[in-house]
Amino acid sequence: MNAFLVVPLAALGGLAVGWFLAPQTERYCDKLTARRRWAIAVTTAAVFAALGWRFGASPVLPAYLYFGAVGTLLNFIDLAVKRLPDPFTLPSYGIGAALLAAAIPFVDDGVPHFVHAVIGMAALWVIYFLQHFFMPQAIGRGDMKLSGVLGLYLGWLGSDAWVYGLVAGAVLGGVVAVGLVLLRRKSWKSELPYGPFMLAGTLIGILAAGG
């Protein structure tokens, strides 16, 4: 299927998925408003469109669309209450791995891709575990739990995507933190939700890297 057809279809699908999944945020945030529901729906549509452009009608597209949907919900929840709920992050290990594994027979070098995904998952989890262990005030337990999921999706695409995703998240977080301090919106001791930067960095890695 032509990518120019996949993108609008993915965007429409994302709009519907985001709209219907948005009420899931009420378990952790305030009552869902129409404004927040539309924000989640439109953001999901934009993420789906970007992933549709990146992968086209690839067998791995469903796996990445799942990531886009869950990642968008986590982004809004973390921004609102500085929390990355286990019911979204932990099942994503199994679901993400299963969706990627299902694509193995239909892509070139499917088994090596999956092996790289598992390695990427473990490596990124270890990095965030060590950061959480030594700097728990900077990297929370929720960030650590999310990291392996992000490593899984980045690892499938190879080391370039993995590095891009890791570095982009750190750079985005640092730039925003410094900007908020300079604008006197936050102090150096203020806590910022780091999940949105991890997710944005991962999306950048997915879109920027080949593989």
Structure tokens at 11: 């965007």
Contact 36, 87 (CB under 8 A): no
Rounded distance, CA 189 to CA 38, Å? 33
Rounded distance, CA 47 to CA 68, Å? 6
Burial 155-184 (b: 16+ CB within 10 A, else e): bbbbeebbebbbebbeebbeeebeeeeeee
Task: Determine phi and psi for 110, rounding to 5 degrees.
Answer: -60, -40
CA 75 to chain centre: 8
Residue with tokens 């930067």, as numbered in its chain: 197
CA 159 to chain centre: 17
pLDDT reported for residue 191: 73
pLDDT reported for residue 186: 65
Please give the residue range of the domain that contains residue 172: 3-208
Contact 59, 6 (CB under 8 A): no
Would the pTM count as exceeding 0.85? yes
Rounded distance, CA 74 to CA 82, Å? 10
Contact 13, 47 (CB under 8 A): no
Domain count, the chain: 1
- Give the sign of the dihedral formed by CA 102, CA 124, CA 166, CA 112: negative
pLDDT reported for residue 4: 77
* 211 residues of the chain, pLDDT tens digit each: 566 789 999 999 999 999 999 999 999 988 899 999 999 999 999 999 999 999 999 999 999 999 999 999 999 999 999 999 999 999 999 999 999 999 999 999 999 999 999 999 999 999 999 999 988 877 899 999 999 999 999 999 999 999 999 999 999 988 887 887 777 666 656 678 899 999 999 999 999 986 5
Angle, vertex CA 137, rays to CA 189 and CA 88, nearest 5: 120
CA 61 to chain centre: 14
